[in-house]
């Protein structure tokens, strides 16, 4: 099999949430357990930090991976979805799994897959576990797909569990209240394993505390302990004054990520590292490694999809925020960016609450409604109707590329173009224009 043929098999022969939605989700851990048993339990060989949450878990995972890399640890990183190439999901020290490794794994086990009948996501999780074992990683940062309790990654017993925050997303599978969603995320809390919760919320904190008490797991809330004061920002980074409790920890801590919402993820990461050094002092992460990792997070991990600036005149920004909470996080940054006019190239998937998401967008923006190249995408015409209901006006386009080209043709040098609404929109955009990334 060639790499292209391998991907065609993985994408078409296996149920794939990225493309078809809920029908690809397996509501139990039976298949992933069978796959890992077939592989002789690779997930039991290496230490893990397990990361869940509604928003920010990808950024949090990348930051943690960058810090552990900077500390000299051979670091595996598993995230999803991918934007341009499948191999983005599985990295060691920022380097993607090779095409040959993907081919070899698929060819070797393809016949046995047919008996287990796993989903696409289950295969990728098993592939990541197997690859990290072969690569002899010192630690792996593993991001959940969605939820937690029944997520395929949840057969792990990590050294630390992390839950960034809770918001309204994937409600058809996780529940329609914050406590119900929190219950699913809390499923990653394991017996006597410390857990860090990024944001304290009065509706979800009791859920996490109850699960932690049940599992005898020490629990820590980052927002109650880590405090950040933004000192300045440049075109490539932000600088913070950091206190832990009442003590100054970092005077000038540089984060190589721009968006304002990253401060919440940074607080979560710092809390994880603070607790790590207390629970695992023999593997202490130095302040020097923390500084180096956070300053160079993009280059160390080859991070994609988060507040990427792809042009300056006009200012072109893409970000993978894909629900109302995520959009609320990036909107202040978009609105305070100096721009004569703001152009929004937007697409969403059909199982998202598009109207709730669109309600945070400015009514004086220029909108270019589009559809990502996956079956799950809401049609541009449907999205336009949702936009009109929110007071947003714009034209429809048959693809992300055509929508962006129209926005770029209309924009002047002093304008801003934002491309997003879905990680799949970002993926289509980067596939076409990513080589212009600045």
Whether 89 and 82 have beta carbons less than 8 Å apart is answered as: yes
Final residue belonging to a domain, choices 263, 281, 301: 301
Predicted TM-score of the model (pTM) = 0.91
Alpha-carbon distance of 293 to 279, in angstroms, equals 21
Q: Is 313 left (phi over 0), alpha (psi -120 to 50) or beta?
A: beta
Section 303-317 average pLDDT: 92
Alpha-carbon distance of 35 to 91, in angstroms, equals 20
Per-residue pLDDT band for 32 (boundaries 50, 70, 90) equals very high
For residues 375 and 276, membership in a common domain is answered with no
pLDDT of residue 17: 40
Alpha-carbon distance of 412 to 418, in angstroms, equals 14
| Phi, psi for 46 (deg, rounded to 5) | -120, 150
For residues 274 and 359, membership in a common domain is answered with no
For residues 279 and 316, membership in a common domain is answered with no
Residue 18 has pLDDT above 60, yes or no: no
Domain count, the chain: 2
For residues 62 and 202, membership in a common domain is answered with yes
pLDDT of residue 107: 96
State the CATH number of the domain containing residue 34: 3.40.1190.10
Show the beta-strand stretches assigned E in 17-104: 48-52, 75-78, 90-92, 95-96
| Vertex 38: Cα angle to 101 and 24 (nearest 5) | 75
**Nearest by Cα to 94 from 121, 127, 67, 56:** 67
Q: Answer whether the bond into residue 314 is a cis peptide, omega within 30°.
A: yes
**Nearest by Cα to 325 from 202, 151, 89, 164:** 164
For residues 316 and 273, membership in a common domain is answered with no
Final residue belonging to a domain, choices 253, 271, 301: 301
pLDDT of residue 166: 86
End-to-end CA gap in the chain: 35
Chain-centre distance for alpha carbon 249: 27
pLDDT in tens, 391-403: 999 999 999 999 9
Helix pair angle (120-134, 99-116), 10° resolution:
130
Hunting for tokens 């190589």 — which residue is that? 256
Whether 346 and 425 have beta carbons less than 8 Å apart is answered as: yes
Q: Which domain holds residue 395?
A: 308-436
Final residue belonging to a domain, choices 301, 317, 345: 301
For residues 167 and 232, membership in a common domain is answered with yes
**Nearest by Cα to 283 from 293, 273, 271:** 273
For residues 61 and 179, membership in a common domain is answered with yes
pLDDT in tens, 157-205: 999 999 999 876 544 456 568 999 999 999 999 999 999 999 999 999 9
**Nearest by Cα to 397 from 437, 345, 324:** 345
For residues 282 and 319, membership in a common domain is answered with no
Question: Which tokens in the block code for residue 410?
Answer: 């209309």
For residues 105 and 123, membership in a common domain is answered with yes
Q: How far is CA 420 from CA 20, 278, 318, in A?
A: 20, 39, 6
Q: Answer whether the bond into residue 81 is a cis peptide, omega within 30°.
A: yes
Range in 59-73, 156-170, 406-420 the model is least confident about: 156-170
In the predicted model, what is the mean pLDDT of the chain? 92
């Amino acid at each position: 099999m060639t790499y292209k043929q391998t991907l065609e098999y993985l994408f078409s022969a296996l149920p794939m949430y990225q493309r078809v939605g809920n029908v690809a989700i397996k509501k139990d851990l039976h298949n992933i357990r069978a796959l890992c048993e077939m592989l002789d339990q690779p997930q039991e060989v290496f230490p893990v930090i397990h990361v869940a949450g509604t928003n920010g878990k990808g950024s949090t995972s990348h930051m943690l991976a960058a810090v552990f890399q900077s500390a000299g640890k051979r670091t595996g990183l598993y995230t999803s979805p991918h934007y341009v190439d499948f191999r983005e999901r599985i990295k060691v020290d920022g380097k993607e799994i090779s095409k040959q490794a993907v081919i070899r794994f698929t060819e070797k086990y393809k016949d046995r897959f047919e008996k287990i009948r796993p989903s696409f996501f289950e295969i990728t999780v098993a592939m990541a576990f197997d690859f990290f074992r072969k690569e002899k990683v010192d630690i792996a940062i593993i991001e959940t797909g969605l939820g937690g309790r029944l997520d395929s990654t949840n057969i792990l017993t990590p050294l630390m569990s992390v839950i960034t925050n809770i918001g309204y997303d994937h409600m058809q599978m996780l529940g329609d209240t914050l406590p119900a969603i929190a219950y699913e995320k809390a499923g990653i809390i394991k017996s006597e394993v410390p857990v860090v919760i990024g944001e304290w919320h009065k509706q979800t904190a009791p859920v996490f505390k109850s699960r932690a008490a049940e599992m005898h797991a020490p629990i820590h809330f980052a927002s109650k302990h880590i405090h950040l004061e933004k000192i300045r920002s440049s075109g490539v980074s932000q600088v913070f004054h950091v206190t832990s409790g009442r003590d100054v920890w970092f005077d000038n801590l540089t984060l190589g990520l721009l968006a304002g919402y990253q401060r919440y993820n940074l607080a979560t990461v710092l809390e994880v590292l603070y607790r790590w050094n207390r629970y695992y002092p023999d593997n202490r992460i130095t302040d020097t490694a923390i500084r180096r990792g956070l300053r160079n997070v993009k280059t160390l991990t080859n991070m994609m999809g988060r507040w990427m600036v792809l042009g300056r005149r006009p200012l072109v920004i893409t970000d993978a925020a894909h629900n109302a909470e995520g959009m609320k996080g990036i909107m202040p940054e978009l609105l305070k960016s100096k721009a004569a006019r703001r152009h929004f190239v937007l697409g969403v998937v059909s199982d998202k609450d598009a109207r709730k998401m669109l309600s945070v967008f400015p009514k004086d923006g220029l909108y270019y409604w589009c559809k990502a190249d996956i079956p799950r995408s809401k049609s541009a015409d449907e999205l336009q109707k949702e936009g009109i209901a929110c007071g947003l006006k714009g034209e429809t386009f048959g693809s992300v590329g055509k929508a962006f080209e129209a926005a770029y043709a209309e924009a002047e040098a002093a304008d801003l173009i934002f491309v997003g609404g879905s990680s799949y929109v970002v993926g289509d955009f980067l596939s076409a224009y990513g080589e212009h990334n600045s």
